[in-house]
Amino acid sequence: MNQNIESYKWTVLFIATITQACACFFVQGIGSIAPLLQQQMSLSAFQIGLLVSSAQLAPLVGLLVAGELLDRFNEKYVVSIGVFFVGMTLCFTLFFDNYYAILILLFILGIGYSSAQPGGAKSVSNWFPKNQLGFAMGIRQAGLPLGGALASLILPFLAIRFNWHFAFFASGCIAIFGATLFFIFYKDKDPRAKKIRHVHIISTIRNKILMVKEPVMFNIMLSGACLTAIQYSVVIYLISYFYEELKISPSIGATLLFSALISGVVGRIALAAWSDRTKTNRYFQVLCCLFCSLIGIAILFFIKTDSYYFLFPLMILLGFFGVGWYGPWVAYIADTAPKDRMGFALGLAMTANQVSVIVIAPLVGILRDITGSYNLSWILLILFTFFTLLSTYFRNKKVLAS
């Protein structure tokens, strides 16, 4: 029995990673077709940002609801139904051409997307021991940049060869495949351990408030919001920035974005595995990600060049830390959260990330439209990252010293 559990946990990790890649394929890949959407739908940079924010708006509440559901029901159903909902919503965009209709559909998509992140993380944390948790979480969280990397290659081709409708539809089919895979192959490690409890709304709200006040949760939420802002700024606007300000073709820009996301895949695994083997708590790796991301964004701002030989290693650096941060970050949550409130803690922490996406995606776009460049956006990111690095470092200083 123990041997079967030992072998099947890797199956769980594999399907959780693939499902994550399928679920986030569109959301992480929309930046790769941003210039095409702007041309085909006559959109501004601000409107592109709103598309991403719309998909991330519902999870503000949805993540907390998904977290509560995960604490009470089998992950198989919560994740599968949510990801299937993502796929069906994307397929439904075939019937609409209006920008505002697409905006509403992407908001609806976010309801299903809410279950993918905390659900997949919880399914992996249930199967792996603490000394392997960081490595396992890193692999599973690599599904997000992996999905984005594949999307950055596939979606532009589909949008150019056919149209943006077909790119959306294909993304929906991929999400449905991921939902089906998870539903068929995921098994609960101990089905008897999970008992359905009655929902107490007042108690739930009280727990939420108490968790937010904890210093550990403050660090988690602030660092997550900051690194999410960096990640989504890169994923959504990098190709447009290269094209508009550095005069780099969209095809070369897509290649550079692909390299950053693949580096992020490696970063999520490597940084999380490193966190398993250090004597400090896992937040040390998160601080390293903040510092290196700060350096990467600063270089991108101060040194404007179209040299592929300069930008390629810069994208590797920015991707490794600016996208790879999620592995040790989510493993740190799994380490510090009470076992019976794991889903809720994940949902709460990821809600801060959603706020960041909702603010940063349209903000970068509207600043670009107003000022005519991305300079002010990079400056704000640099300042925000510097503040987050210092404030969370001093809060965590005693733990790091030990």
Q: pLDDT by residue (tens digit) across 115-139? A: 777 776 777 777 777 777 777 877 8
In this prediction, residues 228-253 reach a mean pLDDT of 84
Residue 359 has pLDDT above 80, yes or no: yes
Mean pLDDT: which of 215-219, 220-224, 359-363 is highest?
220-224
Q: Which residue has the higher pLDDT, 254 or 337?
A: 254
Phi-psi region of 42 (alpha: psi -120 to 50; beta: other; left: phi over 0): left
For residues 66 and 346, is the Cβ–Cβ distance under 8 A? no
Provide DSSP, 64-110: HHHHHHHTTS-HHHHHHHHHHHHHHHHHHGGG---HHHHHHHHHHHH
Is position 116 within any domain?
yes
Q: What is the C-alpha to C-alpha distance for residues 158 and 176, in angstroms, rounded to an integer?
A: 18
pLDDT at 209: 65
Task: Tell me what the pLDDT averaged over the chain comes to.
Answer: 81
Tell me whether residue 189 is in a domain.
Answer: no
What is the structure's pLDDT at 36? 81
Look up tokens 């392997």; give the residue: 132
Query: What pLDDT does residue 226 have?
Result: 92
Closest alpha carbon to 65 in 353, 352, 366, 351:
351
| Mean pLDDT, residues 80-100 taken together | 88
* pLDDT of res. 195: 47
What digits encode the pLDDT tens for the residues 200-214? 555 656 666 666 666
For residue range 161-187, list pLDDT tens digits in order: 888 889 899 999 999 999 999 899 888
Longest Cα–Cα distance in the chain: 63
- Mean pLDDT, rounded, for 8-22: 86
* pLDDT for 45 beyond 90: no
- The whole-number pLDDT of residue 401 equals 53
Q: Which domain holds residue 36?
A: 2-184+200-401
Q: Is 80 exceeded by the pLDDT of residue 57? A: no
Which DSSP string corresponds to 227-257?
A: HHHHHHHHHHHHHHHHHHHS---HHHHHHHH
Asked whether residue 212 is domain-assigned, the answer is yes
Q: How many domains does the chain have?
A: 1
pLDDT of residue 363: 86
CATH of the domain at 50: 1.20.1250.20
pLDDT of the residue at 1 = 46
Q: Whole-angstrom distance between the N-terminal and C-terminal Cα of the chain?
A: 39
**297 within a domain of the structure (yes/no):** yes
Question: 299 with 355: CB under 8 angstroms?
Answer: no
Is there a domain that residue 239 lies in? yes
Residue 190 lies in a domain: no
How many whole angstroms from its chain centre is CA 23? 11
Sign of the CA dihedral running 176, 72, 128, 279: positive
Q: What type of residue sits at position 386?
A: F
